[in-house]
Structure 1
Amino acid sequence: MSDDTDPPRRVRMRTAAAVTAAAITVTLMAALLAAGVIAVAATGAIESPEVWRRWADVGAAFGVLSSVLSGMAFVALVATLWIQYRELNLQRTELHLQRNAIERSSEELRRSADAGMRMLHFELIKMSIDDPILADVWPDPDTAGDDRRRQLLYANLVFQHMSLSMVVGGYTDEQVRELLRYLFANPIMREYWLAPASARRRIQVPGTDPWRIGRIADDVCAEYERGAGGPAS
């Protein structure tokens, strides 16, 4: 994998380069200090003033060089700290992007799983519509007959399909409300929605998409009930 596609490796290489530069500078300073100590030891027995003047000049030169190397070491240290600061910011940004990507992936997986569960629900409803014996398994309220029950089961199928479409399409609350007003204009759709209202409220999880759509559906259905002259359920 190249450096461009491996941010952690790029961070390690840059930091290592900066640390190496600082280490080289410190090593040079240590070598200079050692050379000075050796020079002092070697000139300890010299008594000639002329020789001492020459060594004084050499010492002054070493002093200038020492100051230059000290400045270089300070610059190297500052550069190292700056590079590490930049790399830490880069790592923080990359971690933030990775976290966002994971969250988006988790949301997509959740929606995919929800769509799969709804498709299974569709199949079960269709089987109960086709076979009255299977329809008896559903805990639906008693109706006037098999035809009415088949209509309510079909209303369930229609509502689940539209609900999934709204979730996948990212509908706003107002868009959901307008679509449900269209659906609940049919009294059979309202009958389907009102029948299991208490059980539905017990099993829905607050904050989820079905819960949000369910609350709006309750409001819309209540609007129709009041408009028909009856009390809101």
Structure 2
Amino acid sequence: MATQKRGVRGLSAIAAAGMGLVTGTLVTLAAQRQALASLRMRLEHLEQAAQAQRDANLAHQQRLHWELLSKAMDDHELAEVLDTYEETVSAKKQRQFLFANALYTNALCYYRIGNISRDEFFGFARGILQNPIFREYWYATRPHRATLIDTSEEAELGQMVDDLLRQLEEADGEEWWVVGEPPID
């Protein structure tokens, strides 16, 4: 009889130790989950802060770009610095090209910071390509875009505009607003 009591007590002690081990493991897992959740939240916050800083930097750069273009549009001598076209353009045409650049760059910036979708950027391009001065600007700056890295976002959007311009030129001009396939986001 003494042997049976000791066996039952041994099993109870093993069961209690096992339960303690399981409880300890569960408590540790819960603490790790909570720590992981806290780390995920912190990482999300840091990523949002980094994106906000990139957007602020891009907006600041856009503002500086506009200030430089404005100075060049107002002063023919400064505009000459930006005359990198293959053909000579008049002072008037240079100012128009600078303004076309500002319009395009503004839309590009809006797209990059998420203020407009790729579809909306496409719609902007389709509309602005109706202007003959903008088309002339676009053709004149083709060599500039050729220097972009093919996989860059700016190069991809430029190629999209190139394709759209080709489609617009091939299409019946009366229904320009339906020409081209909007990109898939």
TM range (shorter): 0.7 to 0.9
Pair 1:145 & 2:90 matched: yes
- Whether contact under 8 Å (1:184, 1:221) holds in the other structure is yes
- Alignment TM-score, normalising by the size of structure 1: 0.62
C-alpha RMSD of the superposition? 2.9
Correspondence for 1:22: none
Pair 1:108 & 2:44 matched: no
User: What is the CA–CA distance in structure 2 between the aligned matches of 1:144 and 1:227, rounded to whole Å?
Assistant: 29
Correspondence for 2:137: 192
Deviations along 1:27-63, one digit per CA (max 9) or x if unpaired, are: xxxxxxxxxxxxxxxxxxxxxxxxxxxxx98x98887
How much identity, in percent, do the aligned residues show?
23
**Gap regions ≥5 residues in structure 2:** 174-185
| Local SS of the residue matching 2:82 | coil
CA 1:97 to 1:201, structure 2 compared with 1: closer, same or farther past 3 Å?
A: farther
- Whether contact under 8 Å (1:143, 1:149) holds in the other structure is no
Query: C-alpha displacement at 1:64, in angstroms?
Result: 6.2
Correspondence for 1:73: 17
Query: C-alpha displacement at 1:80, in angstroms?
Result: 0.5
Choose from 77, 82, 102 the match for 1:133: 77
Query: C-alpha displacement at 1:69, in angstroms?
Result: 4.1
Structure-to-structure mapping, 1:1-233, within 5 angstroms: 68-141=12-85, 142-204=87-149, 206-208=151-153, 210-227=154-171
CA 1:144 to 1:227, structure 2 compared with 1: closer, same or farther past 3 Å?
A: farther
| Local SS of the residue matching 2:84 | coil
User: What is the CA–CA distance in structure 2 between the aligned matches of 1:214 and 1:105, rounded to whole Å?
Assistant: 29
Query: C-alpha displacement at 1:221, in angstroms?
Result: 2.0
Deviations along 1:91-111, one digit per CA (max 9) or x if unpaired, are: 333333433333333222222
CA 1:62 to 1:144, structure 2 compared with 1: closer, same or farther past 3 Å?
A: closer
Q: Letter of the aligned partner of 2:102 in structure 1?
A: L
Q: Letter of the aligned partner of 2:145 in structure 1?
A: R
Correspondence for 2:180: none
**Gap regions ≥5 residues in structure 1:** 1-55
Query: C-alpha displacement at 1:135, in angstroms?
Result: 0.6
- Whether contact under 8 Å (1:184, 1:190) holds in the other structure is yes
- Whether contact under 8 Å (1:176, 1:216) holds in the other structure is no
Question: Structure with the greater relative contact order (CA < 8 A, sep ≥ 6): 1 or 2?
Answer: 2
User: What is the CA–CA distance in structure 2 between the aligned matches of 1:148 and 1:207, rounded to whole Å?
Assistant: 29
The range that moved more, 189-198 or 66-75, is 66-75
The number of residues matched between the two structures is 172
CA 1:104 to 1:117, structure 2 compared with 1: closer, same or farther past 3 Å?
A: same
